[in-house]
Structure 1
Amino acid sequence: MKYLTLGLLLLNLFVFAWLQTQPEPFGDTARVSPLSGKQLVLLAEQPDTPALEPANERVAPRVTFVGVACYSLGPFVSEAGAREANETLAGLGLATQQREGTRRELTGYWVYIPPLLSRDEAREVTAMLKARGIKDFQIVSTGPKKNAISLGFFRSHDSAEQHYARISALGLNPVKEENYRENSGLWLDFSSPNRPPLPEAIVDALQQQYGGIAMHERNCS
């Protein structure tokens, strides 16, 4: 009996030693070594915390999609300038159509007192303006508005309206007149669903390179 017990013990030791030399079997009972690094967290287990943007990442300009609108860019004085600008727009995925034409563009507002009967009468009005604190004026000496009193040219409608109201409050009857100019040259017509259709930096670069051009929204028909 003693020898039987000793034999079983030796057999168990042999089996144990042999098992230690064998590769671990694959299956449901396989052991998985712990991964190094941060602990994996399931999406459902994550806390409700807002996502943070990298500090050095630039925020893209806001673009609004409101349906296709049509635009004209120009005028370009040379064929080469229009072609280079066309290549720039093509790089942004915009197909253009070149045309030659003239556009009537609002440049600002002229505020003035209509022509008076004589230059002496115009001088009397300017003396009154000066006494009331109005210093920017000029008597028109030639042309169809001879003896009118120019009170300033304003690019902003609001600025022109404010000055017009100030002169009217003095008991005078000024006129606020829109001023236009004709721009002739080559134009690039294109359409885009984006508002704005071009990044501001692109428009600024084109205006610096081809002075005098502008982008205008136009009728798509």
Structure 2
Amino acid sequence: MKRLLLLLVFLNVVYFFWGTTVVETKRLEQQQAPLYKESELETLVLVGDEEVAAMLEKQVLLESKAKQPISECYVAGDFADEGEAKKLSQTLSNHLSTVSVMPSKVLEEFWVVYPSRSDGERPLHNVETLKAIGVDDLWLVPSGPNKGIISLGLFATADSAEKRLKALSEKSIEAELIRRKKYRYGVKFITSDGLSPILDNLDGFKVGENISIRKIAC
């Protein structure tokens, strides 16, 4: 019995030391295990001097582009007179490099006229004849390519012009209809400094009252 007891004690001591050794071994293995998966590591490749220089140059270009100010496009207007648009264009050209006059709108207008069929005193005679019939809303063109024509009304729509023609026809007046295009002009400019410097230099132009400025796509 005594031998059996000593054998059990010996076996317990051996088991204790064996368990302690196994736990310590596992702990050391865990500490020494890498903190990454080998399959997920990037492969390092040696790069030549020329490739390094090219990559650096590309990086510098990207950084310079990121620092460049953004250009914005605007149109100031609109003007019924192209000459007024050119005046503004000249003023803006003193502060900006890219300025141009452009048609901002193209409208159609309808002109009812009594044509001039002869020279001399005939147009004046026609004016007196029309007034005698009861047409007082008229104007004799004194000069230019339409000299001698009697204007009987300028209309924004064809329907309004046709009504005028019909009313004149009922008075036996053989008027004619002239369709013509009417342009509105704007001044396009490009800036990278915003509108404040531009507005500060528009002496003589009442922006917001006579001139509107709107942003457009470049």
TM-score interval for Structure 1 and Structure 2 normalised by the shorter chain: 0.3 to 0.5
Larger helix proportion of the pair = 2
Q: Point out the structure with max Rg over C-alpha.
A: 2
TM (norm. structure 1) is 0.38
Larger strand proportion of the pair = 1
